[in-house]
Amino acid sequence: MKSESLLIRIGLALYLIMFFTYLIGPLILMSITAFNSAAFPQITPWEVLSFEWFPKLFNDDRIINGLKYSLIVGFFTVILSVSMGLAGALILTQIWPKMRATYYTIIIAPILVPGVVIGISTLVFWARINTMLGLEPDSFLANGIFLTVLGQSTFIASYCMLVFVARMQRYDTGLTEAALDLGASHVKAFRRIQLPFLMPAMASSAVLAFLASFENYNTTIFTHQKFATLTIVLSQKVRYGIDPSISALAFIIVCLTVFFALLNEVLNRRKQLAVANGAPVEAVTKGFKLPRFFSGNPAAIMFAVFVVGAIAVITFAQVYDPEPAKQVFKEDKRAKQKIAIEVMQQKALDQQREKQMKGPKIFESTDKKKSGENPGQETFGSVFKTDNLEEAAGTTNKTEAVGKNPGKSAFGSIWKSGNLDEIAPKDEKGESN
Amino acid sequence: MILKEYFKTNGLMMGWILLGLTFFWIVMLIVLPQLYMFELSFHPHLPPPEMGGPNDYLTLENYKYLAFGAEGNPDGYNKVDLAVFIRTLTAAAFVTVVDLLLCYPIAYYLGQSTGGGFVRLLVLLLIIPYWINEILRAFAFKIIFGDSGVLNEFLMFFAVIDGPIDFIRANVALYAGLGYAYILLMIFPMYNVIESLDRNQIEAARDMGAPWWMIHKRIVIPYAKPGISSGCTMVFMLSAGALAAPQILGGPSSLWFTQLVYQWFNTGGNWPQAAAYAIVLLVACLIIVLSVMKLFKVNMGDIGK
């Protein structure tokens, strides 16, 4: 009996480890690739620790513009969907009971409708309205930001509505009745009693709405027109060739998420602990007492470690210069390459000799065969070459580097598209429209 | 009568604002766009000036195209598109089942544990991947499953395999990425329900000598049914309607149905055709979800709780 429970425990532990590896592992791997100087996001082979992808990210106009549009769209989406969600939830409590189920089904439906469908329907519908009103094809009704806000709000308002409904279920209607008995008008009772009660729900639904808007892809891809939000820009970059500056962005987003999640957890936990100890909340939130802050609060410890780590990494990045290490790495690579080439030449020579011994006919075709026999090595060789050229020539000569090794290998082609992407962002934009 | 009561409760201005917002949401954002798209799907593909003109008529052409292909198609059926359609639905169902099997134990464990700091930390770890952008999650899987990706390098380093395996072409990357993307939507509905299950029921069953699988079969699963169905519905609908993950992680030879819609819409510029495809996707998903819900006797109202 006891051994069986031990077995279950071990099984559970293994399961938990595997599950969370699946959940967190990809994010960690992706973050690590942001610090590899290799031009392709990879962990092995590891080249040199480098922070070069972060400045590259911040100097990317399309990313910065995408961020700007995302923030604009997010702002309006939050306003529209929180107010519609609140209105919808309030009406739900007041609608006559026969209608309630139908009404609820209608306002919950957008969550289940695929985002693609919402995007298309929003676009075609407002284009139709636009022509019906006789407006120009580029009027504000056909504006990408306007359409994206409407499309996203359609289903984000449903999320907000759910948050409000959940909060309202805990509302004590006796409070409103008491206010009415004390002579307040209905309107006043609503504004002074019920609305303040809903404030926390408003805050959390606003956060939820903003995050949902920020990461939305399926709807936005149809409605964004020429205002590519951050998510759209990212998807184009990922599809047409990836480079580690995307990993850098991912790393930043992961860090921000972890930071806010831990912060939220710490604050919640502190309040809970305080209440559990019988202390009024203000007593604990007022003074900053280090030991108590940490006691019984593992999230707080993690939070502190995280902040210290972040500061350490940033300072280190200011001081650290990857160039010497890169030089060493380059030398190393060159030496290895030299050896590889020598080995290859030796091999080829050996083969040639062998074939020479066999007869003159085969000798004629050795040149062709040589390249055919070592395809793998050549692929490798070209990668090294591209890289070396790139490093030697700085950033401007990238096209040249590619031009000199036109599509030699899988690596080469990935490189190429990535470079094209950077050099001719306008072209791509035109394509996507 | 009722309206008078309503305005008395809310005040004249507040009442109108609430009504106006809800009206705008339901009519202008939910109902009319869907209806208009439905109507558009029965129209031929015309340049905008000719819309409503003499060449505009109602037709089933767009739906016929999905079923039978272009006119004079030797196959009789539009095999390519229909195959994509069926594969999308089966793959989405597959992803849903895998997610369910993967998430049920963890939801049970988290829901039934007494909730110490460790469990709170686990919940936190669950939430974090969900707030990372969908594109970036797909990107992470591309790094892992690519030709020179982490997994291939790892396997080759330990000499498990000789050459790289093409995970992208085999759609392994796509299924792993899709399952990953919506895993949280499976866990949380189940977790919420199981958390409210009275532990005494399980204790009682155990005291009476029920083996662990019997406890799950007779107590936990029936109790958690709303959570399970709500999680499955969300994951199925979202994976069938996913666009980013198939675009990034999908193999070159296998398309997702949403990608066809996207192609008709953006590359082809044929809005009515895209609308018809979108309608087919929507209706098929709804039919599947509603019939599964009917089969397991779950209400629509339980979704989203």
CB-based contact A44 B157, cutoff 8 Å? yes
DSSP string, A232-284: HHHHHHHHT---HHHHHHHHHHHHHHHHHHHHHHHHHHHHHHHHHTT--HHHH
Asked whether residue B69 carries a pLDDT value surpassing 90, the answer given is no
Which residue has tokens 């070069």?
Answer: A52
DSSP string, A249-263: HHHHHHHHHHHHHHH
Sort A383 into a burial class: Cβ within 10 Å, 0-12 / 13-18 / 19+: buried
Buried b (16+ CB within 10 A) or exposed e, A149-179: bbbbbbbbbbbbbbbbbebbeeeeeeebeeb
Give B144's pLDDT tier (boundaries 50, 70, 90).
confident
What would the mean pLDDT of A241-252 be, rounded to a whole number? 80
- Structure confidence by residue, pLDDT tens digits, A269-282: 777 777 666 655 44
Asked whether residue A384 carries a pLDDT value surpassing 50, the answer given is no
Which residue has tokens 């996001």?
Answer: A41
Strand partners for A36: A49
The answer to whether A162 contacts chain B (CB < 8 Å) is yes
Distance (Å, whole) CA A324 – CA A332: 12
Angle B129-B130-B131 from CA coordinates, rounded to 5°: 95
Distance (Å, whole) CA B238 – CA A112: 8
Collect all residues of chain A within an 8 Å Cβ-Cβ radius of residue B40.
124
- Structure confidence by residue, pLDDT tens digits, B216-263: 888 888 888 888 888 888 888 888 888 888 888 877 777 888 888 888
- According to DSSP, residue B49 is labeled G
B21, A83 contact by CB (below 8 A) = yes
Collect all residues of chain B within an 8 Å Cβ-Cβ radius of residue A20.
122, 125
Is residue B10, in this structure, part of any structural domain at all? no
Considering chain A, what is the average pLDDT of its residues? 73
Is residue B244, in this structure, part of any structural domain at all? yes
Asked whether residue A166 carries a pLDDT value surpassing 50, the answer given is yes
Is residue B53, in this structure, part of any structural domain at all? no
- According to DSSP, residue A141 is labeled G
Is residue B9, in this structure, part of any structural domain at all? no
Asked whether residue B201 carries a pLDDT value surpassing 80, the answer given is yes
Distance (Å, whole) CA A52 – CA A35: 8
Is residue B185, in this structure, part of any structural domain at all? yes
Range of the domain at B229: 76-302
The interface residues of chain B toward chain A in range 43-72, judged by CB-CB distance below 8 A, are 48, 51
CB-based contact A298 B118, cutoff 8 Å? yes
Structure tokens at A43: 């962990």
Strand partners for A198: none
Is residue B51, in this structure, part of any structural domain at all? no
Distance (Å, whole) CA A202 – CA A209: 10
CATH of the domain at B206: 1.10.3720.10
What fold does the segment set A60-242 form as a domain?
MetI-like fold (1.10.3720)
Is residue B20, in this structure, part of any structural domain at all? no
User: Helix or strand or coil: residue B122?
Assistant: helix
Beta-carbon count within 10 A of A255 CB: 15
Number of folded domains that form chain B: 1
Structure tokens at B123: 């919940």
Which residue has tokens 């590359």?
Answer: B267
Residue of B nearest to A119 (CA): B33
Is residue B126, in this structure, part of any structural domain at all? yes
CB-based contact A124 B275, cutoff 8 Å? yes
Beta-carbon count within 10 A of A5 CB: 9
B281, B257 contact by CB (below 8 A) = yes
Residue of B nearest to A115 (CA): B241
In this structure, of A52-66, A91-105, A367-381, the range with the lowest mean pLDDT score is A367-381
CB-based contact A106 B30, cutoff 8 Å? yes
What's the confidence (pLDDT) of residue B2? 66
Residue B16: CB partners within 8 Å, gap ≥ 6?
none
A76, A239 contact by CB (below 8 A) = no
Distance (Å, whole) CA A129 – CA B28: 11
Give A127's pLDDT tier (boundaries 50, 70, 90).
confident
Distance (Å, whole) CA B52 – CA B31: 22
To the nearest 10°, report the CA torsion of B289, B291, B292, B295: 160
Which of A4, A102, A113, A210 has the highest number of chain B CBs within 10 A, making it the mutation to test binding with B?
A113
